[in-house]
Amino acid sequence: MSHPALQITFLGTGTSSGVPMIACDCNVCTSPDTKDQRLRSSVLIQSATTHLVIDTTPDFRYQMLRINNKKLDAILFTHPHKDHIAGMDDIRAYNFFQQRPMDVYANPLTVEALMREFYYVFGDKKYPGVPQIHLHTIDESPFLIGDIPVVPIAVWHMRMKVFGYRIRNFTYITDANRIEDTEKEKIKGSEILVLNALRKEPHVSHFTLDEAVALANELEIPQVYFTHISHQLGRHEEINAILPQHIRLAYDGLQLQTHI
């Protein structure tokens, strides 16, 4: 059965410090190529009726402004690290213009962090203008956001369980360095895979470039894009030049469509 197209917009493709990194004069951070300028990692997914964002980074406000996004129905969180949740306060504008709470979906560990970091959202007495959210605690069971079906994929970020998501034939995985075989089965058959590839050197909790390429090839996904990229990886065009043709570095503002 075919479905209307999903549009995916990369709002940010950088790691926790972004690119350029503050105070760094390396050849990536000083690159004139706009594709080497990366906000923190997030994507906007749009169907005919539903708009959702995966993660609200510290750059969330600017990310929404620079694409002039006027509608947002839901936020889907991957995990509780600050570079993925810090921008949630800025949903207040959507509350105001849409006149309703924002639906927020997160696993129990992330719910705990949201309640700690944004305590004023969850208090009995709320001062005027605080974000209004409708919080959904999710597990690994599939669920629906509007007309968008979501399948959580449990991946490991060192010892932290992080949720990737398969949405129809688009799979998005950030902040991982290990995926169990049972979860790999959920990814297989995707048309597009987005995967984190931090740098070339080994890292304790992220896939390296070589590890990400190997996983993409193992899963046999026809289109693969790497995200959560650090300045240590290298310049965008130089790395793209050494990658297989079906694997590309994502960049801020990149838009994709999937029809199945």
- Determine how β-strand 143-145 pairs with β-strand 148-157: antiparallel
- Per the CB < 8 A criterion, the answer to whether 31 and 38 are in contact is no
Give residue limits of the domains in the chain.
Answer: 6-258
Q: What is the pLDDT of residues 88-110, one digit of tens each?
A: 999 999 999 999 999 999 999 99
Q: What is the pLDDT of residues 123-138, one digit of tens each?
A: 888 888 899 999 999 9
Q: Which CATH architecture has domain 6-258?
A: 4-Layer Sandwich (3.60)
User: How far is C-alpha 155 from the geometric centre of its chain's CA atoms?
Assistant: 14
Quick check: pTM over 0.85? yes
DSSP codes joined into one string, 192-220: EEEEE---SS--SSS--HHHHHHHHHHHT
Q: 16: buried, middle or exposed (CB in 10 Å: 19+, 13-18, 0-12)?
A: middle
